[in-house]
Homo-oligomer: A and B are copies of this chain.
């Protein structure tokens, strides 16, 4: 451990989180009141109210009655701020009480992850900035993995299942929040668009799904979660309805 290693770790990486924690503990700020916590709170309020593009360093500084340079005392870059915001939001996940059974734990955590991200949907594109190694992300991983193991899945199933599940939850959040929020032409606006193509193209999209009510994004999420968990139990649990080894 060198005394002054100025080379910056990539924001969001494990070493970045470690270095950041050390640096934060070492600070002795003046009594002017500016702190990382205040910055994060103000930034989140701004993102929620006006969108991610409105979060500029200058605008945030204005909101906090300082100059933009002052923010760089607490946060090394805009990307670092986004990493902090994402983990802050993950902290809003409500964990199920101890003793909740395995599958219910997984379902609650999946729904909660989706809920908090949808509550702060303007922040969602920031999830692509970095991997998720913040303390709140780690807690979610710990609990989610525990739920799958408790449900009876062996570790070599629980680990990929956990990762696939997170991919699915985050995928739904991404595409339910991307601009107008409907993926791939399955929406009611599409008819005039299809009319611009030759009559025999996209026969299915023209016919469907008018005879089927288009599911809401929440329905799609619930459907996908239930189907994935059922597939998991069908493939890897000895028999339905009874829990595996603990």
A interface residue numbers (CB < 8 A to B): 10, 12-15, 17-18, 21, 124-125, 127-133, 135, 137-142, 145-146, 149, 155-156, 159-172, 174-175, 177-187, 189-190, 192-194, 196-197, 202-205, 208-209, 211-215, 219-221, 223-224, 226-232, 234-235
Contact = CB atoms under 8 A, between A and B. Distances in A.
B227 A138 contact: no
Contact of A231 (B155, B221, B234): B234
Contacts of A178: 127-131
B15 A138 contact: no
A186 B162 contact: yes
Most B-side CB within 10 Å, residue of A146, A170, A202: A170
B132 A183 contact: yes
22 contacts: A13-B180, A13-B189, A14-B187, A14-B193, A18-B193, A124-B128, A128-B128, A130-B180, A131-B181, A133-B185, A137-B184, A138-B202, A161-B223, A161-B227, A164-B221, A164-B223, A164-B227, A167-B175, A170-B171, A171-B171, A171-B174, A224-B228
Contact of A170 (B174, B180, B205): B174
Q: How many copies does the complex hold?
A: 2
A202 to B, nearest CB: 5
A205 B141 contact: yes
A121 to B, nearest CB: 11
A215 B137 contact: no
Given A131-B184, A159-B186, 9 more contacts: A14-B189, A125-B125, A131-B180, A138-B185, A142-B203, A145-B205, A163-B215, A164-B220, A228-B231
A179 B138 contact: no
